[in-house]
Amino acid sequence: MAADLNNFSQFCDMKVKSALFPIISAAVILAAQFLPSCSCGSETQSEETPAAVKDTVYPLGFCTDSFDVVQGTVRSGENFTSLLRRVGMSAKDAYNLTEATSKVFNPRQLRAGNKWSAYFVADTSDVREARYLVYEQDRVNLVVFSLSDSLYAKRIERQVDVVRKAADIRINTSLWNDMLAAGVSPLMIVELSEIYAWTVDFFGLRKGDRFRVLYDCQYCEGDIIGIAGIPYATFERDGKLLQAVMFDQGDGGNKYWNEKGESMKKAFLKAPLKFTRISSGFSYHRKHPVHGTVRPHTGVDYAAPTGTPVMAIGDGTVISKGWGGGGGNTLKIRHNSVYTTAYLHLSRYAKGIKVGDRVHQGDVIGYVGMTGTATGPHLDFRVWKNGTPINPLKMESPSAEPVKPENLHALDSMRRVYISALDSALVSPAAGPQTQNTLN
């Protein structure tokens, strides 16, 4: 009898489960339809990998599809607190967030024109609450702020892909226009001007000049954001070929050489005159010795007796000579497409020197004086790199030493590999004056 009751009980359990199974299954399916979804960071599931062992990783750390997003740019003069207030935070909460995230984000890093995105809780009412703020410091670096009960900030880097490419550009109108016509980012101009700064005058390019370049291009979300490097390049003019090979000897020095192993960069003199002392350094907040006001002094003052010879620190062309107001007698030299130097307060110029003259490293170009606004005889020496003033005492003075003899064979082998890669990537010059292909 007990056995019969037990069998009957099991039979009932099976009947109940069978009856409930369709109901439970329908409920699960119905509930799944109303769960929030997010396509961010979604992964395709495979039969070999069960879904239970895979985690969904959201690029920003939260499911953006669950929020309403409002985007904008930082306004001119806007600070971090006013931006937080603009997305709905109270002054107190904005202060608390700034304090809680100070080690991750300095509010002074906020820049006008940079993009931001605010993520609000989806709501049909007129009152919405911002839960996250994403600030784009640049194309790659983001800062994500949590604006809810848990106040925090974290930095996120977008993925950057590097693709090796090749380009062949003939100058027809200008380097900028011809690069664009060849489908090459003009960002490469800066890289090429650095490599060929001592051998090619980028202000004097002529029609028919030709660059062939093997380069690494950086992409972020499909857009070009930079040039990661140029392993090999050539510049051709009137049948003369100037090769530049990237080769790192591991000594922290020069990385570009020609096919003979000679440095692509030439050295500068450490100072434009001898037997001197520095009387005033490079500063944006120096108190002027005559006017008494705080103003920038973007040069170095070398105190020296009147008449001390002043030398050009490197080869270049005189681009201006004359009275410079407070700078007195001034001479300016353009050394290449990157560096320009100026020599101020001269008592007189070197005999016969004039605008357009080619000068060489160590040539005397003038003599120390105190013309203009000065309290004593000295040379005010200034340097610009790509049009921006830099501290002459910290300027790069590249080594002119050739590649080490033991590395000559490795340099030549690397050069041949690069030439083969460049030639195989580019179509025949007969197909057109400007072409570009991606290396495999």
Residue 105 domain flag: yes
Provide mean pLDDT across the span 183-196. 87
Residues 210 and 254 in one domain: yes
Q: How many domains does the chain have?
A: 3
Same domain, 285 and 364: yes
Tokens of 348: 């007189």
Q: Indicate whether 114 belongs to any domain.
A: yes
Please give the structure tokens belonging to residue 252: 């922290």
Q: Which tokens hold the place of 283?
A: 């500063």
The mean pLDDT value for 146-164 works out to 91
Cα–Cα distance list, 80 to 72, 98, 225, 242, 351 (Å)? 14, 8, 26, 50, 58
Assigned token pair, 406: 């033991």
Distances (CA, A) of 78 to 81, 89, 99, 129, 170: 8, 15, 18, 21, 45
pLDDT-derived band at 128, boundaries 50, 70, 90: confident
H-only helix segments in 130-233: 175-181, 188-195
The reply to whether 318 and 286 lie within a common domain is yes
Q: Which of 120, 135, 157 is the last residue of a domain?
A: 157
In a domain, 32, yes or no: no
- 402-423 pLDDT, tens digit per residue, is 999 999 999 999 999 999 999 9
Is it the case that residue 124 has pLDDT exceeding 80? no
Query: Is-contact 336 195, C-beta < 8 A?
Result: no
Structure token digits, residue 8? 């009957």
pTM of the model: 0.60
Q: 335 in a domain, yes or no?
A: yes
Q: Are residues 196 and 105 in the same domain?
A: no
- On whether both 344 and 286 belong to a single domain, the answer is yes
Residues 329 and 257 in one domain: no
Residue 174, domain member (yes or no): yes
238 and 169 in a single domain? The answer is: yes
Cα distance between residue 359 and residue 313, in whole Å: 10
* Domain CATH code at residue 185: 3.10.450.350
Strands (E), 54-125: 67-73, 115-121
The reply to whether 24 falls in a domain is no
30 falls within a domain = no
Decide: residue 109, CB within 10 A, 0-12 exposed, 13-18 middle, 19+ buried.
exposed
Q: 345 with 427, same domain?
A: no
- Judge whether 159 and 422 are in contact, CB under 8 Å: no
Q: Which residues contact 186 (CB under 8 A, 6 or more apart)?
A: 176, 179, 180
From 157, 182, 200, give the residue that closes a domain.
157
Are both 226 and 133 inside the same structural domain?
A: no
Residue by residue, DSSP assigns 282-336 as -EEEEEPTTT-SEEEE-SEEEE--TT-EEE-SSSEEEEEEEE-GGG-EEEEEE-S
Looking at 157, 172, 189, which one is the last position of a domain?
157
- Pick from 323, 341, 321: which is nearest to 333 by CA? 341
- Residue 366: pLDDT band by 50, 70, 90 thresholds? very high
Domain of 78? 64-157
Say if residue 318 is in the same domain as residue 248.
no
Q: For 71-112, how does the pLDDT look when each residue is reduced to its tens digit (9 = 90+)?
A: 999 999 999 999 999 999 999 999 999 999 999 999 999 999
Supply the CATH number for residue 289's domain. Answer: 2.70.70.10
* Domain assignment present for 3: no
Start-end of H helices in 35-184 = 80-86, 91-100, 175-181
Together in a domain, 174 and 193 = yes
Does residue 179 share a domain with residue 71? no
Helix and strand numbers (H, E) in the chain are 6, 23
Contact 316, 335 (CB under 8 A): yes
